[in-house]
Structure 1
Amino acid sequence: MNEIEMLRAARPEVHDPASEVLDAALVRVLNDAEPSARRRLARRSPRGRILLAGGLGAVAAAGVGLVPVLSGKGAAPANAAVELRLAAAAVRAAPEPTVKPSQWVYIETKVRGVPGQGVMWAPGEDADTPRPTTSFDIRSWYPAIGGAILKCPPIPKEPKVCGPAVASTLVQQVNGREIRLALFPNSSGWDPDDQAFVRKLPTDAGALLKRVYSYADRKAGWQGFDRDQEAVEAIADLMDGHVSQALRAALYDALSRVPGVRMDRNAVDNAGRRGLGFSRTGHGETVQIIVARGTYRYLGDKVTAVKDHPGGVKAGTVLRWSAQLRVAVVDKARQLPS
């Protein structure tokens, strides 16, 4: 007889605790546990919920109500937070691939959306293009060593611009057409496309979230500023690139601490793959990060308008929908993974 059955026999008038209540308690345990204990609990969450149920039932019998949200200033609703903590534990335990400075990071994505709203314009197109491209097959090669942000000498009279001879380059093929982009310094100090920047981000979730909010706060003067939505968008941008297992785990953990993040167990990426969706609504749109069930591999993102946007874009329109099909390390630009 397990604890649930013992509780039923002793107090048959007490209903079983709801799954949301159990999830909330598990999140509190995960928050309070030491990191090593937290990982052990996270890996065996179904069993952990059963063990916790007896204590929760006793609280319920005493007439104490439990609210399925985290304590403190706020965090993701309990079911989303629990799943994100499990994702962090699973990713943290996965092997870390080795990347040499001379190598390149290859990322293959499939994206569609509204140009100028959720996606960039296709090469050679702009707002005056009668029928702009809305679907993109993108192959990108990023230098593993990263951009030359810290070592880039300024051009005379242009202190914030690097000379093309020393700037790293991003090689990209969009719908079969190749473009080369210089990776110049980002004046905001936040550049997910630069591997040198990404490698320096903290892998402690608390420190990372503090850094994310610090970046978000630079937009505090903007109309309709939503600090937590800015944080989710910054995390989504990082998820979309090549990051270490340790940093990806910290991103999941950090996302679990952002208020308003919700989970959809039947999310679909732009390639039709089903997974878990973690989303938040703000700035007139819902941003959803989609990951694979079980492995928690990043699959893509989806941005949907929840109100009318400029240019005749109606509420409900998908502004951006992506699928990250492949991420690999190769020895040179334009090389495809084997």
Structure 2
Amino acid sequence: MNAAHPSGSDREEAQKVSRLLPEAPEWDLPRGRHRHHKDILMQQIDRDHESVAATTPPRGEASTATTPLRRRLLRPAVAVPVAALALTGALAATLTFSDDHGATPVAQAPAPDGGATVLLNQIADASLRTDTAPVKDGQYVYVRSTVRSNEGTFAGPVELGAPHRRDVWMAQTSKPVKTLGTMRETGKGVPMSGQRLPYGSTDALAPGLERPTYAWLASLPTEPDKLLDELYTGTRTTGRESKDQAVFEKIGSLLDETVMPPENAAALYKAVARIPGIKRIPDAADAAGRHGVGISRQDARSAVRSEWIFDSESLTYLGSRSYLDKDGKGMKLAGTNAILRRTVVDKSGAMPADTTADS
């Protein structure tokens, strides 16, 4: 038998074996990918032929090892479909599970909070990159904002008032005080518009949840779970309000008119992510008309919804919105604000060095 030309029985056996193998499916690949995989396949076939040639006796010499020869003769006939099948399997895995960049996408169910937890963690990270100077005992935190509030009666429908300016100076002394600071509201329809007036408490208040000074905020735990436990313990509910909503509202008040160290701000945002019922709002606007992303929570028990708004790029806190369903006909905007300036001054009524009372 000539080793270079297999006998008829060898060819028949090779054909029988090849028929047992499934046909490789065709894939609708781009022309370049077809050429690439064809080259790989032909290289494999060439290597198989070289292996056969290296072990095949010279032309005209009979083989004395018929069994190895049979394997060598069968190998090219079997190697092509096997290589094709291996290639098909690789292609199937690639086409089925890989995206255009070769990464393996993982099917994930939508987050029940609409991405609120992810957003809050991003806001926490952004807050750590801010530079906040410590506030000294005896100084004042100054905040300027635009405000719209509900001017309707208690029993009547919600009537949102016109936007007006609010300037507030909050005392940072560590001593218990009755006068917590001073406030000036300016605008159409505002009682005593433009006059700076003291605000306070009938009882002297030490720094705490009801009077959050910089030093007190800096003393809070920076571990989110411990911080949240402390907030739940110290927050009181009103009316039909749930405890979760009360804590959410309390944290919102801490964001509005205070100054705190970056690590404490980050801890607050991470703590909020653990409150049940929070949602991400893709687009929301503050009282100044600035749009951003929002974090909200709606309380079915008290029929209220509160939203915090953050700049979409810097994730800086912009302001808030509150909604109320008084008549069971749906939530209506009942109040909104926009924080326009936040800094520290040395005395009540003082304006930041780069601003005036009219700016």
TM-score normalised to structure 1 length: 0.64
Task: Verify: 1:10 aligned to 2:93, yes or no.
Answer: yes
Residues 266-305 of structure 1 correspond to what in structure 2 (within 5 A)? 266-282=283-299, 283-305=302-324
Q: Tell me, in whole angstroms, the C-alpha distance in 2 between the residues paired with 1:327 and 1:215.
A: 26
Residue 85 of structure 1 and its aligned partner are, at CA, apart by: 0.4
Larger Rg: 2
Equivalent of 2:243, from 201, 212, 227? 227
Q: Tell me, in whole angstroms, the C-alpha distance in 1 between the residues paired with 2:160 and 2:286.
A: 22
Task: Verify: 1:104 aligned to 2:140, yes or no.
Answer: yes
- Show CA shifts across 1:281-317 (max 9, x none): 00201100111123222111100124527xxxx6332
Check 1:306–1:9 CA distance in 2 against 1; reply closer, same or farther (3 A cut): farther
Check 1:133–1:301 CA distance in 2 against 1; reply closer, same or farther (3 A cut): closer
Equivalent of 1:248, from 256, 259, 265? 265
Aligned 8 A contact 2:279 2:296 in 1:
yes
1:27 aligned residue: none
- Show CA shifts across 1:93-140 (max 9, x none): 3223232223221111111121478xxxxxxxx999xx9966431101
Q: Tell me, in whole angstroms, the C-alpha distance in 2 between the residues paired with 1:332 and 1:9.
A: 72
Q: Tell me, in whole angstroms, the C-alpha distance in 2 between the residues paired with 1:168 and 1:246.
A: 29
Task: Verify: 1:261 aligned to 2:278, yes or no.
Answer: yes
2:197 aligned residue: 179
Q: Which amino acid aligns with 2:95?
A: P
Aligned 8 A contact 2:180 2:211 in 1:
no
Equivalent of 1:330, from 342, 345, 350? 345
Aligned 8 A contact 1:192 1:198 in 2:
no
Q: Tell me, in whole angstroms, the C-alpha distance in 1 between the residues paired with 2:304 and 2:242.
A: 12
Aligned 8 A contact 1:105 1:141 in 2:
yes
2:71 aligned residue: none
Select the structure with the greater relative contact order (CA < 8 A; seq sep ≥ 6).
1
Check 1:9–1:100 CA distance in 2 against 1; reply closer, same or farther (3 A cut): farther
Check 1:80–1:169 CA distance in 2 against 1; reply closer, same or farther (3 A cut): closer
DSSP 3-state at the match of 2:96: coil
Q: Tell me, in whole angstroms, the C-alpha distance in 2 between the residues paired with 1:302 and 1:167.
A: 29
Check 1:94–1:189 CA distance in 2 against 1; reply closer, same or farther (3 A cut): closer
Identity of aligned residues (%): 28
Residue 200 of structure 1 and its aligned partner are, at CA, apart by: 3.1
Q: Tell me, in whole angstroms, the C-alpha distance in 2 between the residues paired with 1:284 and 1:257.
A: 21
Residues 173-212 of structure 1 correspond to what in structure 2 (within 5 A)? 173-175=184-186, 176-182=194-200, 184-185=203-204, 190-195=209-214, 197-212=216-231
Residue 319 of structure 1 and its aligned partner are, at CA, apart by: 1.1
Q: Which amino acid aligns with 1:103?
A: Q
Residue 226 of structure 1 and its aligned partner are, at CA, apart by: 2.1
DSSP 3-state at the match of 2:95: coil
Task: Verify: 1:214 aligned to 2:233, yes or no.
Answer: yes
DSSP 3-state at the match of 1:172: strand
5+ long unaligned stretches in structure 1: 1-6, 17-49, 61-65, 70-75, 118-125, 150-165
DSSP 3-state at the match of 2:336: strand
Check 1:233–1:79 CA distance in 2 against 1; reply closer, same or farther (3 A cut): same
Residue 207 of structure 1 and its aligned partner are, at CA, apart by: 1.4
The CA RMSD over aligned residues, in Å, is: 3.4
Deviates more, 1:291-300 or 1:166-175: 166-175
Corresponding residue pairs, total = 250
Equivalent of 1:144, from 172, 181, 184? 172
TM-score normalised to structure 2 length: 0.60
Check 1:15–1:201 CA distance in 2 against 1; reply closer, same or farther (3 A cut): same
Aligned 8 A contact 2:320 2:337 in 1:
yes
Aligned 8 A contact 1:262 1:279 in 2:
yes
Q: Tell me, in whole angstroms, the C-alpha distance in 2 between the residues paired with 1:132 and 1:189.
A: 31
Check 1:79–1:187 CA distance in 2 against 1; reply closer, same or farther (3 A cut): same
Q: Tell me, in whole angstroms, the C-alpha distance in 1 between the residues paired with 2:91 and 2:331.
A: 46
DSSP 3-state at the match of 2:330: coil
Aligned 8 A contact 2:178 2:205 in 1:
no
Q: Tell me, in whole angstroms, the C-alpha distance in 2 between the residues paired with 1:335 and 1:307.
A: 40
- Show CA shifts across 1:57-88 (max 9, x none): 3xx5xxxxx5444xxxxxx7261111110110
Aligned 8 A contact 1:136 1:174 in 2:
yes
Q: Which amino acid aligns with 2:225?
A: G
